[in-house]
Chain A
Amino acid sequence: MAVETMRLEAAVGAPRRLRTFGRIRRNKLVVFGGTLVTLLVLAAIFAPVLAPFSPYEQHNVDQLLPPGGKYLLGTDEFGRDILSRVLYGARISIQVAAISVSIGLIVGGVLGLVASYFGGVWDLVIMRLADILFAFPAILLAIAILALLGPSLANVMIAIGIIFIPIFTRVVRAAGLVISHEQYVEASRASGASHVRIMLRHMLPNALPPILVQTTLAISYAILSEAALSFLGLGAQPPEPSWGTMLNTGRGFMSFAPWTGIVPGAAIFLAVLGFNVLGDGLRDILDPRLKV
């Protein structure tokens, strides 16, 4: 059995994977979006090496200096280096995106798999609960959750994660409904495989393409939402170098130090653009029916 599987993979699987990889490499959207995303991730990982100063270090004689010289992107009202703060801000964005999307993906994924696999009452209850969460405007739900939990970065991750739960539930359920009627699932069931094994070994891997596309788009939404909630004062609190908090405080100095608002906003824009373009490219390759 194992040998046969290996042969089959050698004959069909590997070249198909290579073809997909080739298509991914040739897709200009994926290359452009992937480059932006890679730069963002590298900035986040190597922030301590790349940043010329500590993001919290105040230089009292260098307040609100324009970009150039010692401070490539200028300084803020406390004389802190904006470049260093933006680089460390990438860490916050990536961290929030990773954790909130994981919450949505894991909880929503399990609920979607259970709803599509078991159907009946399970499907009815799970999907009605998803409908209730889906009925709220996303930002309003996040604000209500933050009113309950209190403003902090950790709570922003939870709030955004909860917003993602019904989205991933729907995506995984839709894919799972198709897969659960496939012959290989029937065969696995007939051979006595457990429910968990069928869901994790057969249904989940085959539902991956739409999940992957949704994950990329969710990351861009998470970065945008974190910035928005911090901008409203409900997320990261000063002096945390969150891009949203920086933009909010920078607004007060826009008339004479516009870089304090332009730079963090541009960082949010480029990060969101990167993930949006990458998501679009992946969708074209993995789910061409949804091509826009």
Chain B
Amino acid sequence: MSNAIELKNISVYYGQVCALAHINLTVKEGDYLGIIGPNGGGKSTLLKVILGLIKPSQGTIRIFGRPLTPKGRLISYVPQFSKFDLRFPINVRDVVLMGCLGKRNGLLPKYGKEDQELVDCIMKELGIFDLRARQIGQLSGGQLQRVLIARALSAEPKILLLDEPTANLDNKSSNQIYSLLKELNKKMTIVLVTHDLAHISSSVKSLACLNKTLFYHGEPELNEPIINNTFGCPVDLLAHGVPHRVLRHHEEAK
């Protein structure tokens, strides 16, 4: 299997502040990688580097063996839904259609018939077809998140990146998002960034712990030293009665 994403010795500085230091990370095609880490640990920065939105101070990125081009059609992105102005005059369908904008060279401003059909098909798959005429402010958090995933999918990517897809969502909506991602993973590589430790280890295929540097990358089975290193403090990892555990053995935090 080929490598979907290859990061070699990536460092990012914001002025004097170091956000990422010497990151080496390889994501295989078809992988489902969860990146966890504390706030300010560089998770979003790492996503933006992979997307080509931030130029790293040093290091190289390869997507499917090729250097990152400004026209990155292979990757699509689901941002945090909390950053949107929910009063913006746009409906669900137009948001999803946006994913088709970059598919043709030269950014033709008109959507074709195949775009419309593709978008309808994706919306049906994600169960948001009935909401297509709604203004985005009239959606629940879970619905809006699915709209943003649909938008990313309409770009027909090979790699899907998600930034905190379940932040501010209740348990039921989170579960729906995770089962949707599991389904999507059959067709594409997925990388997601999250705080949601309880869910993540049961969903993803591999896990990375990021706090400025990469502390761990491998099987989604964590132990206490890794977590303590990443977060700098003991973290409540208890799986609250849910049938998946993050830790096998751990001592009570003092």
Q: Do A and B come from one complex?
A: no
Interface residues of B (CB under 8 A from A): none
